[in-house]
Amino acid sequence: MTKTTIKEVAKHAGVSQSTVSLVLNKSPRVTNGTRKKVLRSIRDLNYHPQRQARSLASQRTGNIGFILMERYKTANEPFYTRIFLGAEFEASTHDYYMLLTSVPENYNHQEDIPRFLLEENVDGVIVAGRNPHDLLQHLGKLQIPTVYIDYWLDGLTRNAILIDNPQGGYTAVKHLINQGRKNIAFCGGSSRHPSIQGRFTGYLRAMRESFGLSEDQIRSKGWVFLEPDETSPTLGYEACEKLLTAKTKPDAIFAVNDGTAIGCLRRIKKHNLSVPDDVMLIGFDDVEWGRHVDPPLSSVRVNKNQMGAMGVQMLVEMLQETNGSEMPHKRVIPTEVVARESTGGKSEDEAELYF
């Protein structure tokens, strides 16, 4: 079967071959009317342009790089998996391929730099979560369009899709307060991560507004566990022991993510305490497996697929900019509390959003 050529598309649409090429490369120089006419001819003739030829014409690779640390690319960290899937789906709508790579925690810039950066095989990069500073500095020097998702660091990052962590932490704690709880503890690791700092800020705000407690007063009660170690179920399990043996025992715990919350749940049960009767528990991120523990976990929902999609949308906008604008982009994703049985809410089938 003979393939349709760009010349045949141009003839069918009544335009020049260069105009078809401009449409294929999403040039803003083409009027909407002409663009629609060319796209109609492409569809009618079932034309599929060769990516290599298009790349040569546009000086673009058609690829977007996606970087995250190795520890996030596991079954225990579905948060970033969802972000990647959202990004990949959105990239396909813009005719881009996603190239996924991961870098080790002990990143060595001489050995571990992503290959697609060495080969200059991407038009832009998405960086998800915390990553090594050496890598971030290198990306800045390359001046390649880059979008950061769930991470912001002054001086190193410019364009980002961020969670409204302070508001998410605040509404999580207010939910516990509205359930009648007063002795509310904060449990988490990754204390240097901006997202965790934001959630802690929201926690402190809710405790201050509702009970007049300062951070020092809260810490003096033994209600704060916040360490540099990475968040995980193991950290939650060990941290919860310290919280439960505080002089004033907590009647509720806000964990910085669902993995940490599930570790807390195991430790609470080991103390023969009931969730939610003795201790209410709420996490953050609303990952799938938090819904299948006993009792199902209340959580702060983050639209992870949307974050990935918005990251690609922002990157595509940057690639299409022709005015050389250096203004940084920052977009914040709202959150919402999902009340399940771990905070006295309904069963999973009846789980409801709390505002």
Name the residue among 234, 235, 185 with its Cα closest to residue 206. Answer: 185
How high is the pLDDT of residue 4? Answer: 78
Helices and strands counted in the chain (H then E): 14, 13
| Residue pLDDT, tens place only, 154-209 | 888 889 999 999 999 999 999 999 999 999 999 999 998 999 999 999 999 999 99
How high is the pLDDT of residue 323? Answer: 45
DSSP 156-182: T--SEEEE-HHHHHHHHHHHHHHTT--
Write out the H or E segment, with its range, that includes residue 292: none
How high is the pLDDT of residue 2? Answer: 63
End-to-end CA distance of the chain: 59
pLDDT along the chain (355 residues), means of 10: 76 84 73 89 79 54 92 72 93 91 89 88 93 90 92 86 97 98 96 94 98 97 94 94 94 96 96 97 93 96 95 90 61 96 77 52
| Orientation of helix 78-93 relative to helix 304-320, angle to 10° | 40
How high is the pLDDT of residue 348? Answer: 53
How high is the pLDDT of residue 74? Answer: 65
State the CATH architecture for 63-163+304-333.
3-Layer(aba) Sandwich (3.40)
How high is the pLDDT of residue 30? Answer: 81
How high is the pLDDT of residue 47? Answer: 81
| Residue pLDDT, tens place only, 323-344 | 445 567 889 999 999 999 999 9
How high is the pLDDT of residue 7? Answer: 82
Q: Tell me the residue length of the chain.
A: 355
CATH number for 6-58: choose from 1.10.10.60, 1.10.630.10, 3.40.50.300, 1.10.260.40: 1.10.260.40
Write out the H or E segment, with its range, that includes residue 237: helix 233-244
Q: What's the token pair of residue 157?
A: 């990052």
The pTM of this model reads 0.78
How high is the pLDDT of residue 347? Answer: 63
CATH number for 165-302+336-354: choose from 3.30.1360.40, 3.40.190.10, 3.40.50.2300, 3.40.50.620: 3.40.50.2300
The separation between CA 181 and the C-alpha centre of its own chain, rounded to angstroms, equals 30
